[in-house]
Structure 1
Amino acid sequence: HWKGINEIGACRVCVVEVEGCSNLPAACVTNVADGMVIHTSSPRVVSARRVNAQLILSRHNCHCPSCVRNGNCALQTLSASLNITANPFPEKQIK
């Protein structure tokens, strides 16, 4: 988890696929057990992580060039690793 931001696994950007489990649990809050088979980069996992990151970005001030964390930001790194280049969920203007 991102210390100080999410200690309960709610962001879901670390989901994994556990064989025999129908859902994708958050790795940061899932206890491991002997014999577990875990997939961390299956197409299903990558797709879910990407959507979850996009949802976080939809409510984030994405003015990165003027941000003090620009170049040293976990969200930027995550977005780059998931090849997210635009926000598919732009905030709608209230009329």
Structure 2
Amino acid sequence: IRSGPTIYHTGDTDLFSDMALVSRFHKIDLMLVCIGDHFTMGPDRAAEAVKLVNPREVIPMHYGTFPILTGTPEAFERELKTRKSKAQLRVMKIGQMLTLDGS
């Protein structure tokens, strides 16, 4: 998005050390991070990823859709607080829209 917000979408991944490089080269406005805890990061590893990337705002994703995905936004919020994250947590409802201005 030219002249707009910088978004980092983790996709279906786990925590990896190169996430720390993202914040060295980009100021991330919004990070979309998986918290499901099976096949992807859970709340604890996702919070650690947020610590590495240091976004202004974070939206948890890939949770609550199948019984095996046990991570929750509440657990993620606790993990963010444990790590003293400054990222603003935004938990969205299915179908909810978000307008970003990049400021």
Structure with the bigger percentage of helix: 1
Larger RCO, structure (CA 8 Å, separation 6 or more): 2
**Same topology, TM > 0.5:** no
* Structure showing the higher strand proportion among its residues: 2
State the TM-score, normalizing by the size of structure 2: 0.27
